[in-house]
Structure 1
């Protein structure tokens, strides 16, 4: 059975923190009729569901407004970029015969302008917001595994938030925390994550060591706290 490495998108493969916060502030500004800056957002805004953040700011009908405005606001705000080392890591995984996939809360129509074609071409499956119950439910991970004809014990999921960790636990797949992402290495470690990577350059075949009974022996270096 081919080993599988699944990834969250934002904060793991994609550096989108500034863009997401600017999008939240922009929608709040338009809805409330007064200037809302990123500095006005709560510190936990990046790891809190967008509807909850907007509701706390007093935005009426935030779910409906996000459906109307989110894509346009995100597409026109400060750009996103893949983290250094991501493309090379994905290429190395493919060269090692690994199946790769994405499990993200982003919608499918956004992927072509969030990720470069070179990255999308290296993903064997993409599970998006419209495909499954969102994390922390494990449904998206299960769907990705089904599409790849893989079992949970053949896979590892790389995520950057506590909801990612919960989804991996509920799906019975190994978890690697992306310490450079939204929640941060300290929060992931404090929540009990046994492996927390410190840099995107650690994306690669070394992740296969986390899969029970994996055949690879390359070292995975964890962050120390």
Structure 2
């Protein structure tokens, strides 16, 4: 039976920390009429909902401002790349016969300029912000599995935040924490995350060992 490995995007496959922080600073600068730099942002800005960060800086109506300005600011600030080893890991999963997918808070229109074509081509499905209720709701994971016709016992979700872990738990799928991501390995460990990867090079067929149905099938 086919297995699938689903991934969060930012902080897991994609190193977009600098782009996100620059975008937050740019939107805040435009809204407040004074220069806001990355140094002015709170340390946890990259793992905090953007509207909360902007509100804390004194930005009024951050939802509306993000709707109008976020994409332009992100496109201007975009300095993103796949983490080393991600492309090779996705290729190895495909060669092993597994499906791959993305469950992200990014909008679909951003994916072509955030991800290289080679990365997009290795993803069998992409669930974006407009497709399902955002994490920690499990809806995006359920939608990805439905599109791929894969049952929850045959799935693994790789994320880098406690929100990702909560979504995986609610969906009933195995979870692996990306210790190189935005929350960090210590935060994941403090929350008793059962599996924490330490390097993007660990993305690959080894993740299929976390699928309970696969364990049963090989006994």
TM-score normalised according to structure 2 size: 0.97
Deviations 1:134-190 (A, max 9, x none): 000000000000000011100000000000000000000000000000100000111
Question: Quick check: 1:25 aligned with 2:25?
Answer: yes
Write the mapping of 1:1-225 to structure 2, written as runs, cut at 5 A. 1-214=1-214
Q: Give the Cα separation in 1 of the matches to 2:21 and 2:212.
A: 37
Q: Give the Cα separation in 1 of the matches to 2:11 and 2:128.
A: 16
Kindly report structure 1 stretches of 4+ aligned residues shifted beyond 6 Å: none
Residue 192 of structure 1: CA displacement? Answer: 1.3
Deviations 1:102-141 (A, max 9, x none): 0000000000000011010000000000000000000000
Structure 2: 5+ residue runs without aligned partners? none
Residue 223 of structure 1 aligns with which residue?
none
Structure 1: 5+ residue runs without aligned partners? 217-225
Q: Give the Cα separation in 1 of the matches to 2:153 and 2:64.
A: 39
Residue 213 of structure 1: CA displacement? Answer: 3.3
Q: Give the Cα separation in 2 of the matches to 1:51 and 1:181.
A: 21
Residue 78 of structure 1: CA displacement? Answer: 4.5
Tell me the number of residue pairs that the alignment of Structure 1 and Structure 2 aligns: 216
Q: Give the Cα separation in 2 of the matches to 1:109 and 1:5.
A: 23
- CA separation of 1:78/1:111 partners in 2, compared to 1, >3 Å: closer, same or farther? closer
Q: Give the Cα separation in 1 of the matches to 2:118 and 2:77.
A: 23
Q: Which structure: greater helix fraction?
A: 2
